[in-house]
Amino acid sequence: MKSILIIIVTWNKKDYVLQLLASLEGLDYPRDKLDVVLIDNASNDGTVEAIREQYPNINLICNSENIGGTGGFNTGLQWAFQQPEEKYDYLWLLDNDVLVHRQALNELVKILEENPDIGVSGSTMMQLDYPWRINEMGAFFNRNNGNLYLNRHFEEIINWRSIDVKELAANKDLKLSKTLMHCRPIMDVDYVAAASLLIRSKLAKQVGIWRDFFIHFDDVEWCLRIGEMGWRVTVAADSIIWHLSAAAKIPTWVLYYDNRNVLVTLQKHGASQKTIQQNVEFILKKAVYYAILGKPDLSQLHTDAVNDFYANNLGKKNIQLTTIYRSNKNIEEVFNKLDIKRILIGNVNLQATGIQSALMQVALKRPDLEIIFLAQPDGSKIYQFPRSRFVQLPINRLKRYWQYWRLQNHFDLVLQSDYSPYPLLGWLGKQVVFINDDSFAINPPPKLKDVWRFGLVWLKHRLGLK
């Protein structure tokens, strides 16, 4: 059996990383062939103390600050490169919030052993919160716009729905190549996530450490480098892990890294100057969108990403956001404010956000409070509250814009979904609440000066006046 070094990076996810380490104990792979190096990025949640107590034989490296996924994995890779060359045949990179199937490693090793032209193989990533749903089987990279196209994204294994994820992880007979239609055991892709990525140790040393992205797109760029060296990058259908999905995550500070790093990746992998310019313009257009939405701090992240790309400023960015999120458990105090008399609720799911009860309790205590729901663009109404009242905006675009203008500041509070907000809805309120399944933030309404400011930046780039 081949010797393997497992590299894990963690930051303030004690429960998750302990769950991962426990699942590694269940692997069908000889323990004497496995070593673990765990890099902690200055966690303050007791991660280090728990690992030292429960897993004293792990090689634990404690960084003095959070240097991101990039810095953490680079720390682990550099540690691996310093070991005797014959010590490890493969390096297995794992995210801290994954759960691994007992055969996950065996399947990856089998592919690399039987296919000398394959340099990297990654696992099929299922969603930890929806264990029957595929998040990705690797992905393909669009060199024109930097988009990632997740392979077999959101396909479901229906007969897994009633089975607990830990029971699935312990089931030796899970074979997606025999369960899904037209699913081969090995598929060639552009990229596999470092959530579970096995690489030949000699190749890892040859390709070198990750580009200093801090977070996001670092493993993408690494895989692209490996592919351009002539190696195959593959995903193993029957190597299965479960990873927290991004479905309920809202765009905040990571937008900076997403936009800066995709520009760097495009530039480093052959994109023309015209392609770069088109992507810069698109990023700056998104900055205008967030200004219209009423989130100018996110607009600033987009312009900073472009400026730092041109200045070749990589690594960690000191990001300060003005939007402050709080738990949805605290939203009742917002509804209870006496100056809040009219509330307009956009496409917010009261059950998913958990705020229906709080809204109802306030409505019973305050008969003066008007709660109005926005009908769907096609005129349909979604009932999710007793005695619901609705307002319908015109379907015709010009008439709808005129209605928005007429209703400016008409409501004391507007509730917007963080997942699919209506760009102009915030203009109707004196305050805007952006809400998701876990948290909410109160913002002032959008300002025309912010839209103008970021619109001017976009226009200058478009006209070549930057």
Q: Are 38 and 10 in contact (CB under 8 A)?
A: yes
What CATH architecture applies to the domain 4-243?
Alpha-Beta Complex (3.90)
Q: Are 281 and 409 in contact (CB under 8 A)?
A: no
Is residue 414 classed as helix, strand or coil in its secondary structure?
A: strand
Tokens of 311: 């200045």
Give the pLDDT of residue 196. Answer: 98
> Residues of CATH 3.90.550.60 domain(s) within the chain?
4-243
> Residues of CATH 3.40.50 domain(s) within the chain?
326-435
Tokens of 411: 């409501």
Give the pLDDT of residue 1. Answer: 86
Give the pLDDT of residue 247. Answer: 65
Give the pLDDT of residue 237. Answer: 98
With 0-12 / 13-18 / 19 or more C-beta atoms within 10 angstroms meaning exposed / middle / buried, residue 360 is: middle
3-state per-residue secondary structure call for the chain: CCCEEEEEEECCCHHHHHHHHHHHCCCCCCHHHEEEEEEECCCCCCHHHHHHHHCCCCEEEECCCCCHHHHHHHHHHHHHHCCCCCCCCEEEEEECCEEECCCHHHHHHHHHHHCCCEEEEEEEEEECCCCCEEEECCEEECCCCCCEEECCCCCECHHHCCCCHHHHHHCCCCCHHHHCCCCCCEEECCECCCCEEEEEHHHHHHHCCCCCCCCCCHHHHHHHHHHHCCCEEEEEEEEEEEECCCCCCCCCCHHHHHHHHHHHHHHHCCCCHHHHHHHHHHHHHHHHHHHHHCCHHHHHHHHHHHHHHHHCCCCCCCCCCCCCCEEHHHCHHHHCCCCCCEEEECCCCHHHHCCHHHHHHHHHHCCCCEEEEECCCCCCCCCCCCCCEEECCCCCHHHHHHHHHHCCCCECEEEEECCCCCCCHHHHECCEEEECCCEEEEECCCCHHHHHHHHHHHHHHHCCCC
Give the pLDDT of residue 408. Answer: 87
CATH number of 326-435: 3.40.50
Give the pLDDT of residue 338. Answer: 85
Give the pLDDT of residue 420. Answer: 87
Give the pLDDT of residue 466. Answer: 64
Rounded CA separation 305/361 (Å):
44
pLDDT digits (tens, 9 = 90+) for 207-226: 999 999 999 999 999 999 99
pLDDT digits (tens, 9 = 90+) for 165-209: 999 999 988 999 999 999 999 999 999 999 999 999 999 999 999
Low-confidence ranges of the chain (pLDDT < 70): 247-248, 466
CA 41, 47, 50, 51 torsion-angle sign: negative
